[in-house]
Amino acid sequence: MRLRYAGTCRLCAAPLAAGADAIYERESKTVRCTECPEATATATELEPEPEPVEIEVGVAGASARREHERRRARREDRIRTDHPRIGGLILAMTDDPQSTRAWESGAVGEERLAQWLSALPDTTRVLHDRRIPRTKANIDHIVVSPAGVWVIDAKRYRDKRPSLQVEGGIIRPRTESLRVGGRDRTHLVRGVESQVARVVAVLDDPAIPVGGVLCFLDADWPLIGGSFAVDGIDVVWPRRLVKMLTTAEPRGVDAAAVHARIAREFPPA
**Could you state, in order of their start, the residue ranges of all structural domains in the chain?**
7-46, 62-265
Q: Could you tell me if 187 and 250 are in contact, meaning their C-beta atoms sit under 8 angstroms apart?
A: no
Q: Which of 251, 247, 205, 211 has the alpha carbon at shortest distance from 231?
A: 211
Instruction: Give dist(CA 127, CA 196) in Å, integer.
Output: 14
List the one residue out of 255, 126, 146, 262 whose CA is nearest residue 204. 262
% of the chain exceeding 90 in pLDDT:
74
Render pLDDT for 145-198 as a digit per residue (tens, 0 to 9).
Answer: 999 999 999 999 999 999 999 998 788 888 999 999 999 999 999 999 999 999
The amino acid present at 190, given as its one-letter code, is R
The answer to whether residue 243 scores a pLDDT higher than 70 is yes
Q: Which pLDDT does position 183 carry in this prediction?
A: 95
Is pLDDT above 90 for 237?
A: yes
More confident: 70 or 5: 70
Tens digits of residue pLDDT in 15-63: 878 778 778 777 777 777 877 766 555 544 445 554 566 889 999 999 9
- Are residues 129 and 140 in contact, defined by beta-carbon separation less than 8 angstroms? yes
The tens digit of pLDDT for each residue in 115-143 reads 999 999 999 999 999 999 999 999 999 99
pLDDT on residue 44: 46
Q: Give start and end residues of each alpha helix (H) in the chain.
A: 37-46, 62-82, 87-93, 98-117, 186-203, 238-247, 255-265
Q: From CA 225, how far away is CA 192, in angstroms rounded? A: 23
The whole-number pLDDT of residue 223 equals: 86
Please give the Cα distance from 38 to 155 (Å, whole number): 63
User: What pLDDT score does 156 carry?
Assistant: 94
pLDDT of the residue at 73? 95
Residue type, 251: R
Query: In whole angstroms, how far apart are CA 101 and each of 155, 157, 168, 212?
Result: 14, 13, 38, 26
Query: What is the pLDDT at residue 16?
Result: 74
- How far is CA 111 from each of CA 75, 117, 153, 210, rounded to the nearest angstrom? 25, 10, 12, 23
| DSSP single-letter state for residue 266 | S
pTM score of the predicted model: 0.78
CA 32, CA 12: separation in Å to the nearest integer? 8
Residue 10 pLDDT grade (very low, low, confident, very high; cuts 50, 70, 90): confident
pLDDT at 43: 44
Angle at 190 between CA 163 and CA 157, to 5 degrees: 45
Q: Which residues pair with 167 in a beta bridge?
A: 175
Of 202, 190, 225, 26, residue with least CA distance to 131: 202
Q: What is the C-alpha to C-alpha distance for residues 131 and 152, in angstroms, rounded to an integer?
A: 14
